[in-house]
Amino acid sequence: MKVRQASGALAVFAEAGVLAPADVHVARRLGELAREADEAVLLATALAVRAVRSGSTCLELARLRDVTVDEEQDPADLDALPWPEPDVLDRALRRSPLVVGAPTGGLRPLRLVDTDAGTLLYLDRYWRQEQAVRDTLADRAVEPPAVDLPQVQQGLQRLFGSASAPDRQRVAVAMAATRWTTVLAGGPGTGKTTTVARVLALLHRPGLRIALAAPTGKAAARLQESVRAQAAELGLPPDLTAVTLHRLLGWRPDSRTRFRYDAADRLPYDLVVVDETSMVSLTMMARLLEAVRPDARLLLVGDPDQLTSVDAGAVLADLVARPVTGPPDPVLAQLVGADLTAADDPAEAGLTPTEHDRLRNGIVRLSRGRRFGGTIAALAVAVREGRADRVLDLLRSGSEDVSFVEDGDAGAVQRDVVTAATALTRAARAGDVDGALARLEDHRLLCAHRHGPHGVAHWDRRALSWVATALGEPLHAAAWYPGQPLLVTRNDHEAKVYNGDTGVVVDRGGLLAAFARGSTPVLLHPSRLADVQTVHAMTIHRSQGSQYDTVSVVLPPTASSLLTRELLYTAITRARRHVRVLGTEESVRAAVGRQVLRASGLRRVVLT
């Protein structure tokens, strides 16, 4: 890769594929403005920019060399690069005019922070956002809300009945009553939205202002459907509406990172629920927390083991993993009818010691999966725990739930694609909207990449060709036809379709595009869909929040930086009945062994 006007270490690291042109340009420009010529400092600056671009909020100086490149690269080449010694770099940064606290200089866009796990280098903006999140959460934990114990106990009895040892859902609902901030974590199908509905039912009173939100339109629509489906049973208002976080905070056309509601103009809600929090970036979380009133309850919901935000930060995972800081909660123990403060015997509350400790940070993790079981559940656990041998044993076990295609034979994938598409087309041609929408969830091809031989574009073309051959007629992605599966790629609030929504073209005496919305699907003329594409395959990232009877997961080569434990876990947990993995033993081992270790200070103890 050629980078114009780069020299020295910046040029060497750019040629090796470690740095992108943008990383080099920012480092050079900042160096010019601050009159900083030290090559080690400029390299660290470029790597800090690269870290944010790669999803981290900072650069760990002790792990400076832990970089990956997408190209086929001999690891020895990376080791041979002129990496600065950590202690030399540390001293150079502390005296650099680019760093906050240095003895000279006016432009200081970088910040060094010492933590219990080593020194972190930040772009100052992200340090300020992390500090804002940390400080706001700490402030919200100082003075807990007043709790009417008898009233809350009656509510828990109504919602859960009597229990000698409370289950995690009951603990989560009780915690939401005793704290301003609660984190509800759990894997797919563990009952997170069921628990959310019961939190709403426990806290609901006349005049209570409730906000339901999620990072994407699709996730917001699913949250709304789930809550409304339980509204009648739980005595909730039937018209609760969920929106995207951007819409909740008040999108501003003049700024990508600032919103109408902020610290000076707070959100007018008493209870704010955010689903799919694993997809929320650090910047968005900082903006949300500053906008939520100090006396409003906040419930953050999500799976910390899934893929994280496409932008910098892994806030949910950081919050779940951070050190225990809060005191025991005796009010919570009274509410759930067990001594949760007794750390020497947490089994009395049905909690592991780790889960018991997390309660002090306002975190409850649900664990009983209801979406799938058997080998799929065992496979997901093995991936999450990083047990590669166990994962391979399960993939090769011959189970009806799981299969492993190691030889590149796509015959089984072709059969599933054709079978699902044929059933989808039959229902669509008959005008059976509900049937066609149901068939959309029969099978889905999932890929890590968008392009290349292991990417979405390649597999979409193959699938379209298979379907056209099976139906005996030409099909074109650019022309509407009954049975055409659709993927929305941008929010359209007027049409009520959202980025990530999947739908299907049906024949109702004329072609219409149908999208699932609870019991009443959205039907639109296809011409109203400006940002939509035919979809037989999608990225694993886009599949978050969805589920299918069968998924076929295409793993990229081991050199791909996208091949991670979180990617494989997310793909596997999209399936209800069967998971098929297409790859090699090496790619499986690489995925299981490589975690998305986004550098962050949120889970660290900052040394002052």
Give the strand order in the sheet containing 532-534.
522-524, 511-515, 502-507, 485-488, 532-534
Determine the pLDDT at residue 604.
Answer: 82
Higher pLDDT, 353 or 55: 55
pLDDT tens readout for residues 151-203: 888 888 888 887 655 578 888 999 999 999 999 998 877 889 899 999 999 99
pLDDT tens readout for residues 55-90: 888 998 988 887 766 544 444 467 788 899 888 999
CB 285 within 8 A of CB 311: no
Q: Which residues pair with 242 in a beta bridge?
A: 212
Confidence of residue 450 (pLDDT cuts 50, 70, 90): confident
Annotated binding site for ATP: 186-193
d(CA 167, CA 136): 29
Task: Report whether pLDDT(348) > 60.
Answer: no
Q: What does DSSP assign to residue 342?
A: -
CB 30 within 8 A of CB 107: yes
Q: How many CB atoms lie within 10 A of CB 415?
A: 13
CB 198 within 8 A of CB 234: yes
Determine the pLDDT at residue 271.
Answer: 96
Determine the pLDDT at residue 153.
Answer: 87
d(CA 227, CA 221): 10
Report the pLDDT averaged over residues 465-494: 85
Confidence of residue 494 (pLDDT cuts 50, 70, 90): confident
pLDDT tens readout for residues 547-602: 899 999 999 988 887 888 889 999 999 898 999 999 999 999 999 998 877 788 88
Confidence of residue 261 (pLDDT cuts 50, 70, 90): confident
Domains with residue ranges and CATH for the chain: 8-127 (1.10.10.1020), 141-366 (3.40.50.300), 378-593 (3.40.50.300)
Task: Report whether pLDDT(308) > 90.
Answer: no
Determine the pLDDT at residue 418.
Answer: 93
Confidence of residue 473 (pLDDT cuts 50, 70, 90): confident
User: What does pLDDT average to over the chain?
Assistant: 85
Higher pLDDT, 199 or 496: 199
Write out the two tokens for 133: 């999140």
In the block, residue with structure tokens 């297409």: 582
Confidence of residue 37 (pLDDT cuts 50, 70, 90): confident
Confidence of residue 357 (pLDDT cuts 50, 70, 90): confident
Write out the two tokens for 577: 């009945």
Annotated binding site: 186-193
Report the pLDDT averaged over residues 297-308: 88
Write out the two tokens for 203: 């806290």
Lowest mean pLDDT among 130-139, 228-237, 364-373, 455-464: 364-373
Higher pLDDT, 58 or 350: 58
Determine the pLDDT at residue 186.
Answer: 86
pLDDT tens readout for residues 392-422: 999 999 899 999 998 888 899 999 999 999 9
How much of the chain exceeds pLDDT 90, in percent?
Answer: 37
CB 127 within 8 A of CB 54: no
CB 592 within 8 A of CB 386: yes
Identity of the highest mean pLDDT range in 77-81, 347-351, 471-475, 481-485: 481-485
For residue 204, how far is the Cα from the chain centroid? 28
Task: Report whether pLDDT(114) > 60.
Answer: yes
Write out the two tokens for 169: 């859902």
Confidence of residue 277 (pLDDT cuts 50, 70, 90): very high
How much of the chain exceeds pLDDT 70, in percent?
Answer: 90
Report the pLDDT averaged over residues 487-514: 84
Higher pLDDT, 327 or 146: 146
Determine the pLDDT at residue 602.
Answer: 82
Three-state DSSP at 575 gives strand
Determine the pLDDT at residue 342.
Answer: 46
Higher pLDDT, 115 or 559: 115
Report the pLDDT averaged over residues 25-48: 90
Determine the pLDDT at residue 432.
Answer: 93
Write out the two tokens for 385: 């725990």
Determine the pLDDT at residue 347.
Answer: 46
Ramachandran region of residue 259, left (φ > 0), alpha (ψ -120 to 50) or beta?
beta
Which pTM was predicted?
Answer: 0.82
Determine the pLDDT at residue 73.
Answer: 44
pLDDT tens readout for residues 82-113: 899 888 999 999 999 998 876 666 678 999 99
